[in-house]
Structure 1
Amino acid sequence: MIKKILCISFSILLFACNSKKEYREKIVKGKNKTVTLAYQIKAKLGEGAIWNYKTQELYWVDIEGKKFNIYNPKSKVNTILNTASRISTVVPFTENEAMIALEDGVHKMNLQTGESTLFTDMKSELLGSRLNDGKCDPAGRFWVGSMHFKQEKGKANLYTISSENILQKKIDSVTISNGIVWTSDKKTMYYIDTSTSTVKSFDYNNETGEISNEKLAVKIPISLGFPDGMTIDEENMLWVGMWNGNAVIRFNPVTGKVISKIEVPAHNITSCAFGGENLDILYITSASVDMTAEEIEKYPLAGSIFKVKPGVKGVNSNFYIENKSTK
């Protein structure tokens, strides 16, 4: 999520000008998929989409609304569990529990009662900040990042919570920690710090959770919006929700190029996740905040959940795995 980008360097602006034509030509070729409304709701800041393939439900959150949502596409029912503070992301855990990121740290939430208990206390790490996006890696570690309330540059971090509930800082001095995914061979991690307008790649060790060899994978012109939440498909291509961009864009992280763009009838697109029995439906979250009066009129469905069949399948989401000896 991002309300404003306060510091955009001249180099980024220059890149956007030089690259705009090239990206536009590639994008036009991808305009062949139609987005439809999955569930109409006026979420303030819809985020954190993740598909629970075991229950066939979409988990998602409304950060500013302080709500954890469980949407069942078959019944069309969206169950809302209220939270004590802003909830920024969620990952599946057990049949009756999920791990949720709140303002003071990570909690376990009972999906039947809505009650939550603090699992990882992060208050000392989150002074003036809150948690933001996150996901579990293939080994079941929970990676979750932060962002400063005033979005001050370099005051956020990316953390992991191991199966033994050990908190470790993995990347520091970021601004808005956002999308994160891993390749099918478990050797590469992709990560977004929204303010940089980039997707970075890291060599990833699944056994240890260590990352190394940071590289630039994708540089995104600001003409396309700002990169927010992200998912990965079975071809290891990246799907990125574009804040202030009205779209989800599929990037090739090897070449750094746009493959296709799927336009969405909402201004601020925040996250996406592949779901459905065949993982062939892309669910998309959006926000209704940070819009002008003109944008509000133009996008009355902002805040809703959208869906599209993009012609490629996703992969199963990773669940948090807890070492039972720590209980």
Structure 2
Amino acid sequence: MALNIPTRQLLDVGSKLGEGVLWDAERKVVWFVDIKQHRLWHYDPATGSNAMAEAPGQIGWALPADNGLLLCGLQDGLYLFDPATQTFEEYMQVPGEPAHNRLNDACTDPWGRVWFGSMDDAEEEASGRFYVFDQGEIRPAGPAGITITNGPAVSAQGDRIYFTDTTAQKIMVADLSPTGVSEARPFVDTGALFPEAYPDGPIVDADDHVWTGLYLGSRVARFSPDGELVAEIEFDARDVTKMCLGGPDFRTGYVTTATKNLEPEQFAEYPHAGSLLGFDAPVAGFEQARVRLG
């Protein structure tokens, strides 16, 4: 079940809370964020070049949009990021969100909608929930009453969407269509498999299997469409947050990690903590749809 796949350190950026990694197929770069240090990174695997932009607040995700900009989720709402000028512009607030919440993770579906979650920044209150951004409109969609949301993640066909309740150690699934989403139902109880770890950012691969980072678990795990654990890959980082599948053939895994809960003496045990990591994946991903802004 554990795959003996070599992993490698791609960028040592010292992320406090690396997250939101995704492959931009048009630009052929990897985007990822460091939520706690307000940083948006991009990395070009062909050249090794990379750069960082300072966000105006905690940034949970950045998704390429159909106008050449990136739609970003920050603590206080949605922003647009212009890669040419490296600037952020406030775009839209999320109605009804408490001031102590922030946005955490997101994805697009095949129709260019953005599915995202909010959470209590102190990780104490069950004040988080999921939303959908659909051509300029934000509305609640999916589970609510969650302390730490992660995902969502959508299948290539757009028929399934996965929601993660990190604190409860559970991943849920719902049926998805161009017109809406069904009520979420249980998919995997990761706590039964990894009692000391917490499911973080999920993705779906081209074979409709679900991958999740495991915070405190030093690994990513892969589940079949019926929720069976089929593979694990370990890393030299304790707090693995999210992965994506990218590169020219969508067979390179890119993984973000965190250091915010590590003690100084633990860094020697986890030498790749806070880095962007990579590995050669045994399966492929697929191109993510760009955000439809309007």
- Which category of TM-score, normalised to the shorter sequence, fits these structures? over 0.9
Name which one, 1 or 2, has greater alpha-carbon Rg: 1
1:162 matched to 2:134: yes
Aligned length: 291
Tell me which residue corresponds to 1:215: 185
Which one-letter code corresponds to 1:297 in the other structure?
Answer: A
Q: For 2:95 and 2:12, how far apart are their aligned partners in 1?
A: 35
Aligned ranges 1:186-225 → 2 under 5 Å: 186-205=158-177, 207-208=178-179, 210-221=180-191, 222-223=194-195, 225=197
| CA pair 245-158 structure 1, distance change in 2 beyond 3 A | same
Shift of 1:186: 1.8
CA contact (8 A) 1:104 1:126 kept: no
TM-score norm. by structure 2 comes to: 0.95
Shift of 1:181: 1.4
Tell me which residue corresponds to 2:256: 285
1:49 matched to 2:21: yes
Aligned ranges 1:1-327 → 2 under 5 Å: 29-94=1-66, 96-122=68-94, 124-163=96-135, 165-170=136-141, 171-205=143-177, 207-208=178-179, 210-221=180-191, 222-223=194-195, 225-254=197-226, 256-323=227-294
Q: For 1:67 and 1:123, how far apart are their aligned partners in 2?
A: 25
Q: For 1:213 and 1:47, how far apart are their aligned partners in 2?
A: 27
Match of 1:178, SS state, is strand
Q: For 1:280 and 1:224, how far apart are their aligned partners in 2?
A: 29
Alignment RMSD (CA, Å): 1.5
Match of 1:306, SS state, is strand
CA contact (8 A) 2:15 2:275 kept: yes
**Structure 1: runs of 5+ lacking an equivalent:** 1-28
Shift of 1:142: 1.3
**Structure 2: runs of 5+ lacking an equivalent:** none
Which one-letter code corresponds to 1:155 in the other structure?
Answer: S
Q: For 1:95 and 1:76, how far apart are their aligned partners in 2?
A: 26
User: Percent of aligned pairs with the same residue?
Assistant: 25
Per-residue deviation, residues 69-128 of structure 1 (Å, max 9, x unmatched): 111011111111111101011111146410111111011111111212211112741321
CA contact (8 A) 1:135 1:318 kept: no
Per-residue deviation, residues 184-211 of structure 1 (Å, max 9, x unmatched): 3321111111112111010111x22x21
Per-residue deviation, residues 126-172 of structure 1 (Å, max 9, x unmatched): 32111111111211111111111222242111111111x11101132
CA contact (8 A) 1:224 1:242 kept: no
Which one-letter code corresponds to 1:195 in the other structure?
Answer: T
Shift of 1:224: 5.6
Q: For 2:183 and 2:80, how far apart are their aligned partners in 1?
A: 33
CA contact (8 A) 1:96 1:112 kept: no
CA contact (8 A) 2:76 2:99 kept: no
Which one-letter code corresponds to 2:63 in the other structure?
Answer: V
Which one-letter code corresponds to 1:235 in the other structure?
Answer: D
CA contact (8 A) 1:233 1:312 kept: yes
Give the helix-richer structure, 1 or 2. 1
Q: For 1:226 and 1:169, how far apart are their aligned partners in 2?
A: 25
Which one-letter code corresponds to 2:78 in the other structure?
Answer: V
Shift of 1:173: 1.0
TM-score norm. by structure 1 comes to: 0.85
